[in-house]
Structure formats: structure tokens, C-alpha cells
């Protein structure tokens, strides 16, 4: 297991409840979770565009860009859902419950993606231990509720 990858994943996990609470507070102030998500996404777009431009040597080639499968462009919808829903539900559920239920959804989706090799992923069989892990996560999320 790559330790740096694990540390980065843990750091990203630390950011989800922080971002959700920040977006929820912004939504409260703006009286709209959608506007809060839009502003958050706009800042995200600006920062990532600047970093990509500086580190990737400029803009991607048009030929390479349009050659991608149509479905890769829908990834932004996933980000919209995560940002919007987390800003909406964190005030009702609290950060721990929200993250726990998001994790259950992530693991369930990941098991399906692995099993069927969806979106270009390698096929990984669903083993009983993986199903048990999902069940334990579901129980843990329910205990937080």
C-alpha cells in the first residue's frame, strides 16, 4: 500500500466535513444552498484551472479534449451533487452522520464499479469480506443516527 496515497486520501476525507460545514454556513447567509454550491464550485474551478495551467504546461489540446468518451464530461454532475447535498444535509444530520452515510454510498457504488469494471475501472470481484465491510459501515452509520 502506498503510504503517501493513504495520507492524501485521509487528508481529502478530513476536508469533506469541513467543506460541507463551510458551504452550509454560506448557504445560510445567502439563503440558498445552490448559490453556495455555485460559489464554492466557482472558486474550485478557478484554483484548479490556475494550478493545472501552471503545472501541466498550458491548456490541453483541443484534439485530445474532444476525443474523450462523452460520459467523462458528466463527472462535474457528481461534484455538484456532493457539494449541494452535503451543504443541505449537514445542518440536519451533523457532520459525522453525513460523512458516515456518504461513505456507505461511496462503498456501495465502488463495489458495483469494481465488480462490473464501469467507467474504465479494472474488474475486482465482490468477495464476502468486501460485503461484510459494507454491512459494518451501514451498521456504523446507523449507530451514529
For residue 1, pLDDT over 80 is answered with: no
Among 129, 30, 27, which residue's Cα sits nearest to residue 85?
Answer: 27
Query: Alpha carbon of 60 to those of 56, 64, 65, 79: distances in Å?
Result: 8, 7, 7, 21
Q: What is the pLDDT of residues 102-134, one digit of tens each?
A: 999 999 999 999 999 999 899 999 999 999 999
| pLDDT, tens only, 11-67 | 999 999 999 999 999 999 999 999 999 999 999 999 999 999 899 888 888 888 888
Q: Is the pLDDT assigned to residue 4 strictly greater than 90?
A: yes
Amino acid at each position: 500500500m502506498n503510504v503517501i496515497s493513504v495520507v492524501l486520501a485521509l487528508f481529502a476525507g478530513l476536508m469533506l466535513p469541513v467543506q460541507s460545514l463551510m458551504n452550509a454556513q454560506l448557504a445560510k447567509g445567502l439563503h440558498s444552498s445552490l448559490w453556495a454550491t455555485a460559489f464554492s464550485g466557482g472558486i474550485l474551478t478557478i484554483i484548479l484551472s490556475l494550478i493545472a495551467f501552471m503545472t501541466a504546461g498550458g491548456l490541453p489540446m483541443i484534439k485530445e479534449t474532444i476525443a474523450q468518451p462523452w460520459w467523462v464530461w458528466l463527472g462535474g454532475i457528481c461534484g455538484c451533487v456532493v457539494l449541494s447535498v452535503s451543504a443541505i444535509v449537514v445542518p440536519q444530520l451533523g457532520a459525522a452522520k453525513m460523512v458516515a452515510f456518504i461513505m456507505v454510498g461511496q462503498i456501495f457504488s465502488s463495489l458495483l464499479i469494481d465488480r462490473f469494471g464501469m467507467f474504465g475501472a479494472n474488474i475486482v470481484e465482490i468477495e464476502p469480506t468486501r460485503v461484510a465491510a459494507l454491512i459494518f459501515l451501514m451498521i456504523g452509520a446507523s449507530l451514529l443516527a
